[in-house]
Structure 1
Amino acid sequence: MTLRLAASLLDLVLGLELGPSDKGTPNRCSLDGVTWESRQEGVIDIGIRKLEAAALRLASGALVLEIGRIAVHELAGQVRIEAGVPRLSALGAAGVELSGVKLHGPLGLSPQLQEVWNALPGSPPAGITAGQAAADAWSLGPLGEAEGVIRGEITDAHLLFDAEVTVPIRHGQIDFSDATVEHVGPDSRMGVSRLGLYVDAPNGRSYLYQFASAPLAGVEFERRGALLSPWVSERGTLRLQAFAESMLRQGRRGHGQGLTEQARLLLGRTALSGEVQLGDGRFAVPGLQAHMVGRSEGRNALGLRSEAVGHGLTVEMASLSARDAAAKWKGAELACDEVTAGLKLQLFVEGRQVRFVLEVENGRAAGPRLDLGRSESA
């Protein structure tokens, strides 16, 4: 583990506040079956049959982590003595169970967490967005075979009148020829052109999202009729995986890219609901990757809801299922054979600030292991 990352983690730990999650219930921790064995080659093996803790609360500035219960089974660690200094080199367990976990705070990083983030492999320098990190760090394979539908209800909208929007997702693709925008009078239509995502309403075309440049990966633009006809014969399609990965890799580098002011006004009056069944496949972001599995059993299905998208959004996944999960730091890696959990993410928009609450229930990790590698100079 590099000195830079070690120092960042030390600063993070020293900056934490530890206490009970409920003032009426003290936190507690227990160890069962502790063993300690020294070997001649300067290695110490440490074993704990069961480590259990409950009612924990950790805080770093405004970011708070609450843990109702955590149990670690068959924990085994290895300490090496190098130049007279003990160093934890590896840590593993048969399994971990989590319940009542809640992480909440502003959608941003405290100074301590920012230092850890900057020490991660592939992390961009300060001032560079994650979207500008290495292109191969992003993989959204589960979107490739996504199935579902997104519904929106727009109340008193100036652009579309009162409207009900339905956007089907089939085989990881949105075909805007199948999307509907129903309201009093002639219905409107959605589509995608080289300028961006649009709505053709009775009072004309309005753009909801503008592209910085074209063409973009995963986009098939609208097509006009024969002989320079002004009528649109096909509204265009989006292949979600390729399009989302392309947008993440681009980040915000392009001028003129993003939601239009008209779209921002609409979001404040748009209620959203939807169900999306994700497919199996590799999911990767800078420093983290996993292989999502269990589509045939209905796992990794997303539920979306919001009374007003401009003010907040709730995303639920009742049954997350992944294997071969790994998080990497410089010289360190945390890996698990299998991970299952129930997740709920809430986003709250409060003025110019965004606050989040992430809840985890019935979390289980099989075969978690931490490899700290060898110490290096910065």
Structure 2
Amino acid sequence: MAAALAASLLNFVLGSAGGDAANRVTFEGLSSRFTDDGALGIAIRKVEAASLRIASGPLVVEVGQLALHQVALLVRVEGGRPRIERVEAASAELSGVKVDGPLPDAAARAAVQADPCAWTLAPLAAAEGTLRAEIVDAHLLFDANVKVPIRHGGVDFNEASVEHVGPDSRMGVSRMGVYVDAPNGRSYLYQFPSTPVAGVEYERRGALLGPWAVTQRGKLQLQPFLEGLLRQGRGHGTAGLTDPARQLFDRTSVSGHVQLGDGHLTLPGVEAEMGGSSEGRNTVRLHSKAVGRELTVEIAGLSVRNVVARVGALKGRCREVAGDVTLRVFVEGTQLRLAVTVPALKLSALHLG
């Protein structure tokens, strides 16, 4: 009786979970028993699913293939309806995952801003890489090739280069923001809301006047700088960008790579430990034909441990996640959207509930 009830409950839950009619799910090795307090415990040796499609408002999630191993569920029936109280699985493999939807609106961003602990970006402290940009017919810099090295988690603007016809320009950071000293004068790309700003070592000036007075162009330490902006709610959208910079970015292509370090990562609703940098894992590659309109971020060899995620009252955890992930942020009409593609992903020791 318990096994038949378990099968009926699983069919009911799957049918009412908001999935598409094309969803296909199969079970192997199903067994069940009632607990002392009347809940139904269900054990399944293997769960396989194909062509899953789940929509929640404007957010759409598609999964090509899903396999769960050694699954355990605890189900309670309340008011004639089943409620899954806990789900555990020894491991899971996913492939063909696609997520598409709009980025959070201003109200959601304000809620994140209210939580000062929502951002910890320790893997940036040891980041290594290089960012390159090509600016076509730019009014600020002429046609230009920009190179920004990232060393030991920071940007030293003395090492950044802006090459173009005629005398080259220089980038730097002052108390007002990040700037470019071009032959036609100084222009600001990003203006700080206030000073001092965490993670910034401002330019130093000598006795001369004009751009020749700058003896040190300044430095940015990525972890404290970006954490500070995100906690102020300025890491979303284009807050702080000047109008000339917005126009410039529509004509700017970007490429580059950043090898992230190891350490604790906290994002809104998610905590994890990144590791494996010595093996080349968690390498981020960026590319865009027009960074003002779209940006693609590829994470090769994603490797995170001790993942804890919260969505409302729901909490999940996972011992390890490994795979490759591609994120694309783009403008569609007046809306900023996010598309996530995951060719293959492996998870171990899942717990939900």
TM-score by length of 1: 0.83
**CA–CA distance in 2 between the matches of 1:63 and 1:330?**
16
Aligned to 2:34: 38
Shift of 1:33: 0.5
Deviation of the 1:61 alpha carbon: 4.0
The Cα of 1:133 is off from its aligned counterpart by 2.3
* 1:316 is the counterpart of 2:298: yes
Residues 199, 208 of structure 1: 8 Å contact kept: yes
Q: Which moved more, 1:44-53 or 1:221-230?
A: 221-230
- 1:194 aligns with 175
Shift of 1:96: 0.9
Q: 2:205 aligns with which of 212, 224, 235?
A: 224
- Matches of 1:79 and 1:150 in 2, distance apart? 50
In structure 1, what is the equivalent of residue 125 of structure 2?
144
In the alignment, structure 1 residue 163 sits paired with structure 2 residue 163: no
Which deviations, in whole Å up to 9, do the C-alpha atoms of 1:306-358 show, x marking residues without a partner? Answer: 11111211110121100000012455420000001210111222342223211
Q: Distance in 2 between matches of 1:272 and 1:197?
A: 18
| 2:46 is equivalent to residue 50 of structure 1 | yes
Match of 1:211 among 189, 192, 200: 192
Distance 1:351 1:369, change over 3 A: same
Alignment match, 1:88: 84
Cα distance change, pair 19–348 in 1 and its aligned pair in 2 (3 A): farther
Does residue 303 (structure 1) correspond to residue 292 (structure 2)? The answer is no
1:211–1:257 CA contact under 8 A, matched in 2: no
Q: Is the 8 A contact 1:131 1:250 kept in 2?
A: no
Kindly indicate whether residue 96 of structure 2 is the aligned counterpart of residue 69 of structure 1. Answer: no
Percent sequence identity over matched residues? 54
CA separation of 1:164 and 1:36: change in aligned 2, threshold 3 A = same
For residue 39 of structure 1, what is the amino acid of its counterpart?
A: T
Task: Name which structure has the greater RCO, CA cutoff 8 Å, separation 6+.
Answer: 1
Deviation at 1:259, TM superposition (A): 0.4
- Aligned CA-pair RMSD: 2.5
Distance in 2 between residues matched to 1:44 and 1:136, nearest whole Å: 38
AA matched with 1:310: G
Q: Which amino acid aligns with 1:346?
A: R
Q: How does 1:264-283 map to 2 (within 5 A)?
A: 264-283=246-265
2:319 matched to which residue of 1?
337
Partner of 2:93: 97
Who is 2:156 aligned against?
Answer: 175
One-letter amino acid of the counterpart of residue 37, structure 1 = R
* Aligned twin of 2:9: none
Candidates 339, 342, 347, aligned match of 1:357: 339
**Cα gap change, 1:58/1:78 in structure 2, threshold over 3 Å: closer, same or farther?**
closer
Contact (CA 8 Å) 1:133, 1:286: kept in 2 or not?
no
> Which whole-Å CA distance do the structure 2 matches of 1:135 and 1:297 have between them?
32
Q: How far apart, CA to CA, are the structure 2 residues paired with 1:215 and 1:37?
A: 62
CA contact (8 A) 1:212 1:257 kept: no
Q: Tell me the distance in 1 between the aligned counterparts of 2:203 and 2:313.
A: 48
2 CA distance for matches of 1:142 and 1:130?
Answer: 24
Structure 2 CA distance for partners of 1:19 and 1:356, relative to 1, 3 Å: farther
Structure 1 residue 246: deviation in Å? 0.2
1:28 and 2:24 aligned: yes
SS in 1 for 2:325: strand
- Superposed displacement of residue 245, structure 1: 0.4
Q: Which amino acid aligns with 1:46?
A: I
Equivalent position of 1:347 in the other structure: 329
